[in-house]
């Protein structure tokens, strides 16, 4: 049987993450911040649909009309970068089916970019090294590296691009609540630099390459951005308190927000908490699990 060659189209899942820990440990001379964060991949995901085109160039469409489809979108930028490195492949049409809220601290844009790079490699039947993909991803954003890695959890240092995979992290259940507030990561870092004195006094946590159960996870949960976000958005702080009152073993702002998640050891406990939380009818609520 002859080789059918590359596909004409394909779809690829683009899952999001939560940050089980996030410490801002310093600011570099170039203005970027050094962080220590624990990424954890979860089952809330977008889909990226890719199709080869005869005409050259990039066409991106998005199911959410509020999200740009041009160079402001990381999918467009990922495709443009890929085509510049592999100009022989011609044109590409991409459609993003969005489920991950934008500006929510869940890494949706970075995940979409990583999925686009992986999808283009598969679509055109290219065999690219992991180092090449990582280099492409690093030029798009620090979080992209995690979504290119084959791991459920990873500690990230530097600006978020230096990864240490976590072995044997447990399967957990999460109730993610997005209150409909778009928070710019750039704004959050800038405000942190202006308002907060960098100190390690509250976060002397040793990086571990394994954690076994829910209690280990709860012992790690911390996010420096809560010092910036909660004073300005009191409803987000209240949302975290609601999740704890509803039975979450721990609750935390994810990334720079505005999503807050509660962590549970069973789906039943997660669903019970969802049913018990009141006053969030206007929020988007997701019951998800570790991937």
Break the chain into its structural domains and give their ranges: 9-165, 173-289
The CA-atom distances, in angstroms, between 10 and each of 62, 94, 123 are 16, 10, 7
Same fold, 9-165 and 173-289: no
State the fold for domain 173-289.
Answer: Alpha-Beta Plaits (3.30.70)
- Decide yes or no: CATH 3.30.230.10 for domain 9-165: yes
Active site residue 143: yes
Which H or E run includes 122? helix 108-123
* 275 carries an active-site annotation: no
Q: Which of 46, 143, 224, 240 is catalytic?
A: 143
Residue 201: predicted pLDDT: 46
Give the count of beta carbons closer than 10 Å to the beta carbon of residue 35.
Answer: 20
Catalytic member of 17, 46, 224, 240: 17
Distances in whole angstroms, Cα of residue 196 to Cα of each of 102, 189, 222, 250, 260: 26, 10, 16, 24, 21
Query: pLDDT of the chain along its 291 residues, tens only?
Result: 344 456 799 999 999 999 999 999 988 888 789 999 999 999 999 999 999 998 889 999 999 999 999 999 999 999 999 999 998 888 999 999 999 999 899 999 999 999 999 999 999 999 899 999 999 999 999 899 999 999 999 999 998 889 999 988 889 999 999 999 999 988 999 898 887 766 544 455 555 666 788 999 999 999 999 999 999 999 999 999 999 999 999 999 999 999 999 999 999 999 999 988 766 667 999 999 999
| Separation CA 205–CA 202 (nearest Å) | 9
DSSP 89: G
């Amino acid at each position: 049987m002859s080789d059918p060659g590359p596909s004409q189209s394909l779809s690829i899942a683009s899952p999001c993450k939560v940050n089980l820990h996030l410490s801002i440990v310093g600011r570099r001379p170039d203005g970027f911040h050094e962080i220590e964060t624990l990424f954890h991949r979860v089952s809330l995901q977008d889909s990226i649909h890719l199709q080869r085109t005869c005409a050259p160039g990039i066409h991106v469409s998005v199911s959410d009309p509020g999200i740009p489809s041009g160079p402001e979108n990381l999918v467009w930028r990922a495709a443009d970068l890929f085509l510049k490195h592999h100009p022989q492949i011609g044109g590409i049409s991409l459609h993003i089916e969005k489920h991950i809220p934008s500006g929510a601290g869940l890494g949706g844009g970075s995940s979409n970019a990583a999925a686009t790079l992986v999808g283009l490699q598969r679509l055109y039947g290219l065999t690219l090294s992991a180092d090449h993909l990582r280099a492409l991803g690093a030029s798009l954003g620090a979080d992209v590296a995690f979504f290119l890695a084959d791991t459920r959890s990873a500690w990230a240092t530097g600006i978020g691009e230096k990864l240490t995979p976590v072995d044997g992290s447990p399967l957990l259940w999460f109730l993610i609540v997005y209150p409909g507030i778009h928070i710019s990561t750039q704004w959050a870092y800038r405000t942190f630099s202006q308002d907060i004195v960098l100190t390690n006094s509250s976060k002397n946590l040793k990086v571990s390459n394994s954690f076994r159960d829910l209690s280990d996870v709860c012992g790690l949960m911390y996010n420096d951005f809560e010092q910036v976000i909660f004073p300005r958005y009191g409803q987000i702080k209240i949302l975290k308190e609601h999740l704890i009152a509803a039975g979450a073993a721990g609750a935390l702002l994810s990334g720079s927000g505005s999503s807050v998640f509660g962590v549970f050891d069973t789906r039943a406990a997660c669903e019970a908490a969802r049913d018990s939380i009141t006053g969030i009818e206007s929020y988007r609520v997701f019951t998800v699990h570790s991937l």
